[in-house]
Structure 1
Amino acid sequence: MVNLYLGLVLFGVSVALMVRARLGLDPWDVLHQGLSERTGIGLGWIVIGVGALVLLMWWPLHQRPGLGTVSNVIVVGLTAQGALAVLPHPGPLAVRFAFLLVGIVANSVATGMYIGAGLGPGPRDGLMTGLAARGHSIRLMRTAIEISVLAAGWLLGGTVGVGTVLYALSIGPLAQFFIHRMNIADRKVALHG
């Protein structure tokens, strides 16, 4: 539970750091930011709303959410909204780049923590695995989903930039590194094995 909730809070803070960097966001947050810009609704509230809609898409895929899934929908958005309220708007490019790098690494650590807790995937991850369970390639489904939300977010005015590319290139290896090290089941086996 501690891993789950610390991970979700850290994930929300990482989103806010990348938003404040203004150098480009991950695909889903490009969509969230674009929707926020168009509607005037705070980004954190958009994260919650989109997460809930994606969770509804699980129904026909026969996916079952866990405590971690439902918590993800709520905690990440609330934390991102709160962090955006207190984080400064950095001016110098060096500080913005530092926000971006810390945001990407924090996002990876957070992913390792909440997935490693084993209490259910995030709504977006569950959508991908649900589609893959229907016989589609995970790589194809993940790529199609990410490109679709990135394109929609960019058209809505979300920030695409060097941070988007850096995130895309680094998140896979970083997330794999941290998921392996923070997996609760793996640690239990190592302790008792």
Structure 2
Amino acid sequence: MFIRRFLQLQFGLCLYGVSLALMVRADLGLDPWDVFHQGLSERTGLSLGTVLIIVGAAVMLFWIPLRQKPGIGTLCNIVVIGLVTDAALKVMPHLDHLGVRVLALGATIMLNAVATAAYIGAGMGPGPRDGLMTGLVRRTGWPLRWTRTGIEATVLGLGWLLGGSVGVGTVLYAVAIGPLIQIFLPYFQVEPKREPAPATTT
């Protein structure tokens, strides 16, 4: 069971990195966190993947007062997505034709939803950014929807000021990603192993 979950986790994280690279190449706007990551990348000269790793590690510092505990999936999330994103960007060509970019955006959102469902379904720990959100909800009692909206609006605004790409893709991602993850998650949810019921005698 552990091996199956771990392989599913790695599949999800690698697919997420590829989908992020494809969204960058579509150049029609990124999701809120990646607008922030791209803005930092533009300002610092670091690769997008390197920024992903640094920000992921930094966000985990906020877990300490929230008393969040990382899992294997949390640590893998920080490293694998960043490495795969950089590798994919090196081999993925730039897209010039608008029609191709629109198709790439649609594929990106779909692949990203599958990837997210896969690594969440593996149940090996949340990503650092998701853990920040759930930790805040648990410690403050704030509604999940408004907590997530507040965090993403903040990083989106900062990313835009730093020069990150905001566009129609940002809006479409925000609208579509939740429902799509909900559709795909049942296919990846790993059920915990149940102990056999004790035999009874009559």
Regarding TM over 0.5, the answer is yes
1:78 to 75, 79, 83: 83
Shift of 1:176: 1.1
For residue 128 of structure 1, what is the aligned residue in structure 2? 133
CA shift for structure 1 position 86: 0.6
Greater Rg over alpha carbons, structure:
2
Give TM-score scaled by structure 1 length.
0.95
Deviations 1:2-28 (A, max 9, x none): 110000000000100000000000000
Q: 1:7 aligns with which of 12, 20, 26?
A: 12
Code of the aligned partner of 2:100: V
Matches within 5 A, 1:102-121: 102-121=107-126
Match of 1:42 in 2: 47
The letter for the 2-side match of 1:52 is A
What is aligned with 2:65? 60
Query: Share of identical aligned residues, percent?
Result: 59
- The match for 2:199 is none
Q: 2:143 is matched with which residue: 137, 144, 151?
A: 137
Which structure 2 residues correspond to residues 18-29 of structure 1 after superposition, within 5 A?
18-29=23-34
**4+ residue stretches of structure 1 with deviation over 3 A?**
none
| Structure 1 position 100, deviation (Å) | 1.0
**Equivalent AA in structure 1 for residue 134 of structure 2:** T
Offset at 1:102? 1.0
Matched, 1:152 2:165: no
- Could you say what secondary structure the match of 1:185 adopts? coil
Equivalent pairs counted in the alignment come to: 189
How far does the alpha carbon of each residue in 1:53-106 deviate from its partner, in whole angstroms, 9 at most, with x for none? 111110110000000000000000000011011100010001111111111111
Q: How many Å separate the matches in 1 of 2:187 and 2:154?
A: 31
Corresponding residue for residue 179 of structure 2? 173
One-letter code aligned to 1:85: K
Structure 1: where are the runs of 5+ without partners? none
Post-superposition shift, 1:180?
Answer: 2.1
Q: Which amino acid aligns with 1:53?
A: A
TM-score of the two chains, using structure 2 as the length reference: 0.91
Query: Are positions 1:69 and 2:74 aligned together?
Result: yes
Could you tell me how far apart the structure 2 residues matched to 1:146 and 1:30 are?
A: 10
1:171 partner amino acid: I
Could you tell me how far apart the structure 2 residues matched to 1:69 and 1:61 are?
15
Tell me whether 1:185 sits opposite 2:178 in the alignment: no
CA distance in 2, matches of 1:55, 1:14: 23
Equivalent-residue separation in structure 1 for 2:91 and 2:161 (angstroms): 28
Deviation at 1:184, TM superposition (A): 0.7
